[in-house]
Amino acid sequence: MHVSLVGINHRTAPIEMREKAAIGPDSLHAYLHLLRRHLQHGVILSTCNRTEVYSTGSRAGDVDQACVDFLGNSMGLTESATTCFYVMSDRVALEHLFDVSCGLDSMIIGEYEVLGQVSQALEAAEKSGTVNLPLRRIFESAIRTGRRARNETGISRNPLSISSIAVNKALDIVDDIGRCKIVIIGAGEAGRLALRVASGRGAADMAVVSRTLERAVRITGTCGGRPVGPDKLAVELRDADIVIACAASPHPVLHHRQVSDVMNTRPQRPLIIIDIALPRNVEPDVGSIYNVHLYNIDDLNKLADNHRQEREAEAAAVKEIIAEEAEILMNWLLAYSARPAIKSLMVRAEKIRAAQYHNSIKKMASLSEEEKQHIDLLTRSIVDKILRYPILYLKEGGDADRMKSINRIFGLDDGKEL
């Protein structure tokens, strides 16, 4: 059985392309449904750093191509965008997923959020009925590996987040944190983290703009700041110094016209906007407005580099856990692939044993029930012993060559009697 991964991430594709391939939690079910047109089984993992499709199948080329077609066609990516795809197979694909779940493949090494996103990807695929046993096992192993990495190493000790990098970058630019005004757009996890960091650094004037006001009320209740509805966004922007945009919206929520109007009322006062959402919340040409300093998630990448270097020793320890878990999973997958061959071998052997046993018993009419049972057990145990090594041989690798040689030796191809 072949494991396939096709994806696009922050290392292979620019933000413009990644945001086209991004699938929000609200549309994941619809995309899993679409995936079924290309593949019987698959799991889609879409985070702010990547969109990946994992699948399994018997023919490597076919599964890889189906994943490429799904990503390319369904996400409306151009032909040239497919050059940004990576295609990985079998152990390499598994180890990549483990890297992802452990936070080694993230912009912020060791980040916690991605482990939850791996769990949610499996959960969504389960609900859509696109998970088979090997994929379930692969994702469960990835989740276990991610937990082990965080429990057994310091990879996630004092974790950073994109939100904290964004807020810290903005606050490092302004002169007086206590007097600056911060507007956070989005009251989800990213908004909560941003608010907590801003509050921790001494920001006093913080507004959280949320489509659902209760969510803003909830986070401002614990971290400080004022909850605001989206209709008040323009008013809040008039005297803002910093905007952290982190709403999970598929379309921009901050437009050129809106920001331009605001800036015309305050031409000499700079506005720092950090857009960490993917797809982006802020129209890119907002960055061209005089005195607006716009950054997106990729602009924060360099700031994450120092953090990445600090975590190198921990990353090496995580890699050891990954190798160990990948070995266990590969052995399971090999044994799983060999199951049909093992089954047909056992069925064939049992058929022969049972026929020989009944033929012989008919000729030995004087045997008691106890003696018959004894012979029955004896023949079963002989068959088990004979099959032990061929079965182990198949379990070590359920590849086509091994199955072919076992079929040949035991005459499973052509129905020959032993």
Q: Which of 190, 197, 254, 315 binds ligand NAP (CB under 6 A)?
A: 190
252 binds ligand NAP (CB under 6 A): no
Binding test (CB under 6 A) with ligand NAP, winner from 82, 168, 249, 379: 249
Nearest to 169 by CA among 315, 26, 272: 272
- Using CB under 6 A as the binding rule, whether residue 244 contacts ligand NAP is answered as no
CA distance linking residue 324 with residue 321, whole number of Å: 5
Stretches 210-218, 353-361, 373-381, 387-395: which one binds ligand NAP (CB under 6 A)? Answer: 210-218
**Binding window for ligand NAP (CB under 6 A); candidates: 10-18, 79-87, 133-141, 207-215:** 207-215
Shortest Å distance, C-beta 279 to ligand NAP? 7
User: Where are the strands (E) in 137-255, listed by range?
Assistant: 181-185, 205-209, 226-228, 242-245
Q: Does position 210 bind ligand NAP by CB under 6 A? A: yes
d(C-alpha 324, C-alpha 217), whole Å? 45
The pair of three-digit structure tokens given for residue 345, joined into one six-digit string: 């071998």
* Structure-token pair, residue 15: 């933000």
Q: How is residue 301 written in tokens?
A: 């990448």
**Looking only at residues 328 through 367 of this chain, which bind ligand NAP when binding is defined by CB under 6 A?**
none
Closest residue by beta carbon to ligand NAP: 188
Q: Which is nearer to ligand NAP, 135 or 259 (CB)?
A: 259
Residue 348: CB partners within 8 Å, gap ≥ 6? Answer: 410, 411, 412, 418
CA distance 333 to 133: 10
> CB-wise, 188 or 287, nearer to ligand NAP?
188
Is 188 among the residues that bind ligand NAP (CB under 6 A)? yes
Tokens of 367: 């045997």
Query: Structure tokens of 187?
Result: 């009251």
Binding of ligand NAP by 294 (CB under 6 A): no
Which residue lies nearer to ligand NAP by CB, 162 or 282? 162
Q: What share of the chain is helix, strand, coil (3-state, %, to 5)?
A: 60, 15, 30
Residue given tokens 């600090």 in the structure block: 310
Q: Which residues contact 276 (CB under 8 A, 6 or more apart)?
A: 48, 162, 163, 166, 190, 244, 245, 246, 296, 297, 300
Nearest to 19 by CA among 29, 30, 6, 8: 8
Q: Is 102 a catalytic residue?
A: no
**Contact stretch for ligand NAP (CB under 6 A) within 75-83, 126-134, 188-196, 307-315:** 188-196
Q: Can residue 276 be called a binding residue for ligand NAP (CB under 6 A)?
A: yes
Residue 248 beta carbon to ligand NAP: minimum distance, rounded to whole angstroms: 4
- Does 58 bind ligand NAP (CB under 6 A)? Our answer is no
Of 15 and 321, the one with the shorter C-beta distance to ligand NAP is 15
Q: How far is the CB of 282 from ligand NAP (least distance, A)?
A: 12
> Restricting to residues 144-173, which ones interact with ligand NAP according to CB under 6 A?
161-163
Our finding on whether 211 is near ligand NAP (CB under 6 A) is yes
User: Which of the following is catalytic: 48, 102, 180, 223?
Assistant: 48
Q: Does 277 bind ligand NAP (CB under 6 A)?
A: yes
Query: What residue has token string 């499973």?
Result: 412
- Phi and psi for 110 in degrees, rounded to 5? 80, 5
Listed ranges 83-91, 150-158, 189-197, 404-412: which one lies at the site for ligand NAP (CB under 6 A): 189-197
* Residue 131 one-letter amino acid: V
57 vs 186, which CB is nearer to ligand NAP?
Answer: 186
Which residue from 63, 1, 74 is spatially nearest to 35, judged by alpha carbons? 74
**Residues forming the active site:** 48
Site residues, ligand NAP (CB under 6 A): 48, 113, 161-163, 186-191, 193, 210-212, 215, 246-249, 253, 276-278
